[in-house]
């Protein structure tokens, strides 16, 4: 019986993945990079949802742009990215059924957020969306999702068989796997990044409670 649920945020509770895709596209277009580089940057982002922007931006410069990235420039890019996304994520729609599930059932489980979004930014988004009451604690980067899940389990003495991670990225699946906890994938559209993964999948939260009760 599941007692603890760890939620990723973007693309799981809120339809905000495309917001961040467009933000990366706009950011690097504004920096004056050519169409091929921008296209490769966006493609890498899409293939690596769930990885922090800090890791992605460092990768973009090293592997795609083949350029040095000084600390002050790195900080400027991260801050600009944050400016591009926060308001839109705050106003993004819930994944169907997510709001209803949290309002009706968050007290039935110990619920946590494990996000690749920077911790302070994630807290701001949760507070502005008036979601704080649903979660025991909200986590963000620089902690990895694997370390977040581990800390939740250890600090709260969670039974691993009673703990569930729900995410939309392979990094979420890997965080669950290395911690020996159950995993559900939230999938979108025609692209299934979990097609090679043996796990339960949902497209929304319309039947989530029944699924959780079956685990």
pLDDT tens sequence across 149-164: 999 999 999 999 999 9
The total of structural domains in the chain comes to 2
- Do 97 and 196 belong together in one domain? yes
Helices (H) and strands (E) counted in the chain, each on its own, are 9, 6
- Do 80 and 55 belong together in one domain? yes
Tell me which of 33, 63, 91 is where a domain ends.
Answer: 91
Does residue 23 surpass a pLDDT of 90?
A: yes
pLDDT for res 24:
94
- Do 8 and 73 belong together in one domain? no
pLDDT for res 33:
92
Average pLDDT of the segment spanning 173-200? 91
- Cis amide prior to 65 (ω within 30 degrees): no
The three-class DSSP label of residue 165 is: strand
pLDDT for res 109:
97
Tell me which residue of 126, 129, 119 sits closest to 151, measured CA to CA: 119
Does residue 128 surpass a pLDDT of 90?
A: yes
- Do 179 and 151 belong together in one domain? yes
- Do 51 and 102 belong together in one domain? no
- Do 122 and 60 belong together in one domain? no
Q: What is the C-alpha to C-alpha distance for residues 13 and 4, in angstroms, rounded to an integer?
A: 16
Tell me which of 33, 65, 91 is where a domain ends.
Answer: 91
Segment 68-114, tens digit of pLDDT: 999 999 999 999 999 999 999 999 999 999 999 999 999 999 999 99
- Do 80 and 184 belong together in one domain? no
Question: Which structural domain range is residue 49 located in?
Answer: 17-91
pLDDT for res 49:
82
- Do 189 and 101 belong together in one domain? yes
Tell me which of 40, 65, 91 is where a domain ends.
Answer: 91
Does residue 213 surpass a pLDDT of 80?
A: yes
- Do 98 and 62 belong together in one domain? no
Segment 9-21, tens digit of pLDDT: 999 999 998 999 9
The CATH number linked to 190 is 3.40.50.1000
pLDDT-derived band at 53 (thresholds 50, 70, 90) equals: very high
Does residue 189 surpass a pLDDT of 80?
A: no
- Do 186 and 80 belong together in one domain? no
Q: What is the C-alpha to C-alpha distance for residues 35 and 77, in angstroms, rounded to an integer?
A: 18
- Do 151 and 190 belong together in one domain? yes
pLDDT for res 192:
78
Assessment of whether the complete model's pTM goes beyond 0.95: no
17, 123, 160, 205, 209 from 130: Cα distances, Å: 20, 10, 29, 19, 22
Share of the chain above pLDDT 90, in %: 91
- Do 97 and 71 belong together in one domain? no
């Amino acid at each position: 019986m599941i007692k603890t649920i760890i939620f990723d945020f973007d693309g799981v509770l809120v339809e905000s993945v495309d917001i961040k895709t467009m933000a990366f596209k706009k950011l690097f277009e504004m920096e004056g990079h050519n169409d091929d580089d921008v296209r490769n940057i966006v493609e890498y982002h899409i293939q690596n949802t769930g990885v922090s922007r800090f890791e992605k931006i460092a990768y973009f410069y090293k592997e795609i742009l083949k350029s040095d990235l000084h600390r002050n420039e790195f900080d400027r890019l991260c801050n600009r990215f944050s400016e591009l996304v926060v308001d839109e994520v705050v106003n993004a729609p819930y994944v169907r059924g997510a709001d209803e599930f949290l309002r009706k059932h968050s007290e039935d489980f110990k619920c946590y957020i494990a996000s690749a979004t920077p911790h302070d930014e994630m807290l701001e988004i949760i507070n502005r969306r008036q979601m704080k009451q649903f979660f025991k604690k909200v986590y963000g980067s620089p902690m990895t999702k694997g370390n977040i899940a581990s800390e939740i389990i250890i600090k709260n003495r969670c039974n691993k068989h009673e703990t569930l991670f729900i995410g939309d990225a392979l990094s979420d699946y890997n965080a669950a796997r290395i911690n020996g906890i159950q995993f559900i994938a939230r999938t979108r559209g025609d692209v299934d990044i979990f097609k090679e993964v043996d796990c339960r999948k949902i497209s929304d939260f319309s039947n989530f409670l029944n699924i959780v009760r079956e685990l």
